[in-house]
Chains A and B, each alone.
Chain A
């Protein structure tokens, strides 16, 4: 699956799409594929402060649990409630199944994230290990 050019990516396999001062965050297709069938998404409540590089929740497949790391610092302004009942949507389309929306505290943090091309190269190296 192609990685959208307009998204930025983390080495922990999250994506973020920024519109104005709000970032929408999800996990990548690579992440959903490694996890397998996703059965549970543990997301924070609206109003929670998240910090760049820190865990803000988790996503669980049948076989494993994986922390979610925030690509940016800020405040949660939205949570995708659909994932509470249909977490498998992430398997179907990881790049449109967002998990949280975050009001950014420091948009300059985005500069350190990976572009689609850089992320794809990074996953190729991970696979080759």
Chain B
């Protein structure tokens, strides 16, 4: 029997459909979202070995448009957007003056005067307010287009073959972190981006947010992926997939109390570009020898599962850090975690313990990502 969403929660245009096909729903940052459909492990494996479909319409979309839009983007984000070409996107983050995270984002260069910043669901209002108040002195407009799009993620080694059935766009011409516009499911000018949050190849498409169109596209993607064993996938699999790939989640690996060096995201930090919000503080941290703690990957060696918030202990049993995300890894079939530990102990092969329900359980520091997708041979 289909139930309806508690009224206080926000819903994507596909909410009724998720409930109709029997998804288990959870409150995710104020959104009523599917956590799983057929089962988390099956969904996770579909994305690693075939293809999976996610409703990620809860993500936000901020557009910066106008002659000053590049300067504005440069001022509010840490990566160097001047390096982007039209049709290219990159991972970046918006920072507070102290070098900690407002949010991590994907910046798309739509044209010379037009940038699209894709932001997280739980931080949508905060982010938009932040952008709006910090780009005022630039000659550009910030618009919140979040509710205009249903965003679908088609992810997995068979994502391209699935999507190819629904569009004439040559998908092989869209490299990773590039995008194009084209007709998808008969919808002209659909943004097709080769991006995702699973560690696999895949695409994110942005279609009009009316319920009828959203449901039609959803169903056509499922039909197209049928021969590859496509499964609708929930936030449960999305979380384990991104954890195997060691991608950050806001309020876990990154937050307003964690800086870029700690989070091990300095490869996306371009301090050599003109000053931006957070750059001064980060230069100081760098000059003073770097951060006191660092994010590391852990593999639990003994029996036990590390979970978010569990303490990390040294050999003597003293608390030295905390797990930010921990879970069994369905593809790797190991119990893995991301955790903050003091920088001097953040060494691969270092031995620590995780306090699992009162008991120290041995864990080893391992390189991240835990999972890297196989390189295409063809």
Chain B CB within 8 A of A62 CB: yes
Chain A CB within 8 A of B102 CB: no
Please indicate the chain B residues that have their CB under 8 angstroms from the CB of A58 in the complex.
357
Give 28 pairs: A residue, B residue, CB < 8 Å, sorted on A. A36-B24, A36-B36, A36-B40, A36-B236, A37-B39, A37-B40, A37-B41, A37-B330, A39-B305, A40-B303, A40-B305, A60-B305, A60-B328, A61-B40, A62-B40, A62-B236, A62-B240, A62-B327, A62-B328, A62-B330, A63-B35, A63-B236, A63-B327, A65-B305, A65-B307, A65-B357, A91-B39, A127-B3
Q: Report the minimum CB–CB distance from A81 to chain B (whole Å).
A: 15
**Complex formed: what's the CA distance from A62 to B24 in Å?**
15
**Complex formed: what's the CA distance from A127 to B6 in Å?**
12
Query: Is B36's CB under 8 angstroms from A39's CB?
Result: no
Please indicate the chain B residues that have their CB under 8 angstroms from the CB of A91 in the complex.
39
Interface string of A1-44 (1 = CB under 8 A from B): 00000000000000000000000000000000000110110000
Beyond A37-B39, A39-B328, A63-B35, 16 extra complex contacts between A and B, CB < 8 Å: A36-B24, A36-B36, A36-B39, A36-B236, A37-B41, A37-B330, A58-B357, A62-B40, A62-B41, A62-B327, A62-B328, A63-B40, A63-B236, A65-B307, A91-B39, A127-B3
Please indicate the chain A residues that have their CB under 8 angstroms from the CB of B357 in the complex.
58, 65
**Interfacial residues of chain B within 299-330, with CB under 8 A of chain A in the complex:** 303, 305, 307, 327-328, 330
With CB as the reference atom, state the residue of chain B lying closest to A91. B39
Interface string of A53-73 (1 = CB under 8 A from B): 000001011110100000000
Interface size class of A (residues with CB under 8 A): 10 to 19
Please indicate the chain B residues that have their CB under 8 angstroms from the CB of A40 in the complex.
303, 305, 328
**Interfacial residues of chain B within 96-113, with CB under 8 A of chain A in the complex:** none
**Complex formed: what's the CA distance from A127 to B1 in Å?**
12
With CB as the reference atom, state the residue of chain A lying closest to B305. A60
B interface SS class: mixed
**Interfacial residues of chain B within 180-222, with CB under 8 A of chain A in the complex:** none
Please indicate the chain B residues that have their CB under 8 angstroms from the CB of A63 in the complex.
35, 40, 236, 239, 327
Please indicate the chain B residues that have their CB under 8 angstroms from the CB of A60 in the complex.
305, 328
Please indicate the chain B residues that have their CB under 8 angstroms from the CB of A39 in the complex.
305, 328
Q: Report the minimum CB–CB distance from A83 to chain B (whole Å).
A: 13
Please indicate the chain A residues that have their CB under 8 angstroms from the CB of B330 in the complex.
37, 62
Interface string of B34-48 (1 = CB under 8 A from A): 011001110000000
**Complex formed: what's the CA distance from A37 to B333 in Å?**
13
Most buried by A among B36, B40, B303, B305: B305
**Interfacial residues of chain B within 22-54, with CB under 8 A of chain A in the complex:** 24, 35-36, 39-41
Q: Report the minimum CB–CB distance from A48 to chain B (whole Å).
A: 16
**Complex formed: what's the CA distance from A120 to B303 in Å?**
35
Please indicate the chain A residues that have their CB under 8 angstroms from the CB of B40 in the complex.
36-37, 61-63
Please indicate the chain B residues that have their CB under 8 angstroms from the CB of A127 in the complex.
3
With CB as the reference atom, state the residue of chain B lying closest to A39. B328
**Interfacial residues of chain B within 269-319, with CB under 8 A of chain A in the complex:** 303, 305, 307
Q: Report the minimum CB–CB distance from B225 to chain A (whole Å).
A: 22
With CB as the reference atom, state the residue of chain B lying closest to A58. B357
Please indicate the chain A residues that have their CB under 8 angstroms from the CB of B239 in the complex.
63
**Complex formed: what's the CA distance from A16 to B328 in Å?**
29
**Complex formed: what's the CA distance from A60 to B303 in Å?**
12
CB-based closest 9 A-B pairs = A37-B41, A62-B40, A39-B328, A37-B40, A63-B236, A62-B328, A36-B40, A60-B305, A37-B39
